[in-house]
A and B are shown apart, each in its own frame.
Chain A
Amino acid sequence: QKEVEQDPGPLSVPEGAIVSLNCTYSNSAFQYFMWYRQYSRKGPELLMYTYSSGNKEDGRFTAQVDKSSKYISLFIRDSQPSDSATYLCAMYGGATNKLIFGTGTLLAVQP
């Protein structure tokens, strides 16, 4: 079993839709949870991070962590064509000093 599972998509939504992106994980030692956005042929850029369980909001983006279910989500409200990208979840914590990434979900927002 992979430490982090993420549906690769692609996910296609109309402009203005609410998007939900998710990851599950198996290592209960993870404490820091991140979402990166990667445009085609570019390096990933950090969107948001959260520590432990709870929600964090930044503009149209909300990150949610449920440690009891080992499940994290990223919600995008009022999605825009410029949100079209691959979204990667990443996690960190425990004995390792490595970030563990999901495989990424390809999102396409149709105008």
Chain B
Amino acid sequence: SQTIHQWPATLVQPVGSPLSLECTVEGTSNPNLYWYRQAAGRGLQLLFYSVGIGQISSEVPQNLSASRPQDRQFILSSKKLLLSDSGFYLCAWSVPSGSYNEQFFGPGTRLTVL
């Protein structure tokens, strides 16, 4: 069966510090991978998605970046965090050939920037 992991679960970082969040998927090959941010009252905002190693599409201009160094690994990074980067970050995967793009979510990372 497929499993998706995210870490850390919670993170408190000062403004201006770097960020690295990691997501890994087990039990599937060549998944589509996604990073979302969820802020209170604003639903899920798609940040990045990837259809393969090294292939990243950015949805929202910001000071975040994503990388996919391995087939089942997706990393969200920032060189300098802003207060507005606080939120709940979710990684998700989907089957590339899925007809309705069902996405499976990880447990999330709650980031607080102070």
B-contacting residues of A (Cβ < 8 Å)? 6, 8, 31-32, 34, 36, 41-46, 49, 51, 88, 92, 97-99, 101-104
Contacts and interface: CB of A to CB of B under 8 A. Distances in A.
A99 B46 CA distance: 9
A46 B100 contact: no
Interface stretch (B62-70, B78-86, B105-113): B105-113
Q: Chain B binding site: helix, strand, loop or mixed by DSSP?
A: loop
A98 B49 contact: yes
A24 to B, nearest CB: 14
Contact of B104 (A31, A42, A46): A46
What size tier do the contact residues of chain B reach?
A: 20 to 34
B41 interface: yes
Contact of A8 (B41, B46, B92, B100): B41
Contacts of B59: 98
A10 B56 CA distance: 36
Contacts of B41: 8, 103
Contacts of B26: none
B101 A101 contact: no
Contact of B43 (A31, A32, A43, A102): A102
